[in-house]
Every structure is written in structure tokens, then in C-alpha cells.
């Protein structure tokens, strides 16, 4: 009986890890770079819904970036994937990369 419980626990943990990994991959938002302001540490992105921030519709908006060095990896017109979150009450791009 102990073996059945252990097998069930291992299966549950493995399934939980798979679900969390899948959610993390879905958290990235697709967008397009419209403007970059390196001096201000801001980027304008046309993006799809950002469910983690309760944005059910896509829009174009200006974001602060967590690290201004990230702005050097993209240019206006690039299709990107990015993550955004609330930092000190502001919506901030925490990671960004060109889409493939």
C-alpha cells in the first residue's frame, strides 16, 4: 500500500511540474516594437492580451523596462516575445527577445 501512495505522489509531482512549465511558456506575450526611448528606459509595443495583468485585449502602449540594456537587443519593427509585470505599482517589461 505504501508503494501505491509513493507512485501516486511521484506522478502528481511530475504532472505539476509539467503544468507549471507549460504555464510559464504561455506567459510570454507576442508584440511588435513601435518605438524605443533608450534615454528614458521605455519601449512602445503593440501587443496581444496580457492575461497576467488582466489585459484581455491587445493594444499599443508604452512600458518601462527593468533593465535599459534590454533595449539594445531589439529595434523598431521587430516582432518580439516579452514578459511584463508590476514593479512598484508600474507595468514593466521584465524580459524581451526577438520572435522566431
* 10 φ/ψ angles, rounded to the nearest 5 degrees: -60, -45
Confidence label for 85 from pLDDT (cuts 50, 70 and 90)? very high
Was domain 29-98 assigned CATH 2.40.50.320? Answer: yes
Query: What SS3 string covers 31-81?
Result: EEEEEEECCCCEEEEEECCEHHHCECCCEEEEEEECCHHHHHHCCCCCEEE
pLDDT score recorded for residue 11 = 55
Q: Check whether 82 has a pLDDT greater than 90.
A: yes
Domain boundaries, the chain: 29-98
Q: Residue 98, by phi and psi: left (phi above 0), alpha (psi -120 to 50) or beta?
A: beta
Q: Which pLDDT tens digit goes with each residue over 16-44?
A: 544 444 344 446 999 999 999 999 999 99
The model's confidence at residue 9, banded by pLDDT at 50, 70 and 90, is: low
Interatomic CA distance for residues 68 and 91, integer angstroms: 15
Write down the pLDDT at residue 100.
78
pLDDT tens, residue by residue, 44-62: 999 999 999 999 999 999 9
Between CA 13 and CA 34 the distance in angstroms is: 42
Distance CA 97, CA 33 (A): 11
How high is the pLDDT of residue 86? Answer: 93
Dihedral sign from CA coordinates of 98, 88, 62, 75: negative
Which pTM was predicted?
Answer: 0.72
Amino acid at each position: 500500500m505504501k508503494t501505491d501512495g509513493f507512485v501516486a505522489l511521484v506522478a502528481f509531482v511530475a504532472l505539476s511540474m509539467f503544468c507549471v512549465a507549460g504555464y510559464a511558456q504561455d506567459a510570454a506575450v507576442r508584440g511588435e516594437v513601435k518605438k524605443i526611448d533608450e534615454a528614458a528606459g521605455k519601449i512602445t509595443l503593440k501587443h496581444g492580451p496580457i492575461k497576467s495583468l488582466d489585459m484581455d485585449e491587445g493594444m499599443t502602449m508604452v512600458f518601462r523596462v527593468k533593465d535599459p540594456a534590454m533595449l539594445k537587443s531589439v529595434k523598431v519593427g521587430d516582432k518580439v516575445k516579452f514578459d511584463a509585470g508590476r514593479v512598484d505599482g508600474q507595468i514593466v517589461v521584465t524580459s524581451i527577445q526577438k520572435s522566431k
